[in-house]
Amino acid sequence: MSSNLPALLLGAALGAVLTLLGSVFVQAVVVPRVEKRKRREARFEAALLDLGLALTTDVSDREQAVKRAITDTFGDDDASPRSADDAAREWDQFAQRIDWLVGRVLDVRDDGDLRRRYESWQREAERFSSFTWVSTDGSSWTDWDEPALHDLVWGASDSEFDERQQLVAEVERLLRT
């Protein structure tokens, strides 16, 4: 029995060393990777929630402000087009925030369906705000024909809303997966 003792001690020592190396490997390699993945998923989820919230509340508020400002500008002969310009500028700034939020989501997980829906929404959002480019070129709002401007803004608003609903559906799909 005394001849087996050194072999048993060597086996126990080797087992202890392998266990120590295994636990060091898990702590040094596996745990940081899992934590990084968890943080990445949390950022993705937070960005998706921010994007969904922005698309479902803030966009509508700014869009309605633009439409109200345009209606007020043309409804009153003494009105200044400044409020319409300000509302349109706020809309454009908000559209940039949506761009940023979508970029954050796509940085974490590139999703082709979300990207396509976003690009489609972006075209309609730009079409909705296209009259702001005219106002910044020095043309007066009052130079526009009211029915033509009304059709442009309200028609573009309806198209933007439809595309936004599709984009919201993609955000909801990603939240479920």
Indicate the number of domains in the chain: 1
100: its two tokens: 């940023």
Q: Which of 5-19, 39-53, 81-95, 133-147 has the lowest mean pLDDT?
A: 133-147
What's residue 27's pLDDT?
87
The span from the CA of 133 to the CA of 103, in Å, is 24
| Higher per-residue pLDDT: 142 or 27 | 27
Residue 14 lies inside a defined structural domain of this protein: no
Give the DSSP letter string of 62-119: HHHHHHHHHHHHHH-TT--THHHHHHHHHHHHHHHHHHHHHHHHHHHS--HHHHHHHH
Q: Does an H or E element contain 66, and which?
A: helix 59-75
Residue 4 lies inside a defined structural domain of this protein: no
118, amino acid identity? Y
Q: Using one digit for the tens of pLDDT, what is the confidence trace for 33-83?
A: 989 989 989 999 999 999 998 888 877 777 777 777 777 766 565 656 667
Please state, in angstroms and as integers, the Cα–Cα distance from residue 175 to each residue in 12, 50, 158, following that order. Answer: 50, 12, 26
What's residue 136's pLDDT?
45
Q: What range defines the domain where residue 84 resides? A: 43-176
Residue 32 lies inside a defined structural domain of this protein: no
Residue 26 lies inside a defined structural domain of this protein: no
CATH number at residue 153: 1.20.120
The span from the CA of 42 to the CA of 95, in Å, is 24
User: Which span out of 7-11, 59-63, 136-140, 161-165 was modeled with the highest average pLDDT?
Assistant: 161-165
Residue 10 lies inside a defined structural domain of this protein: no
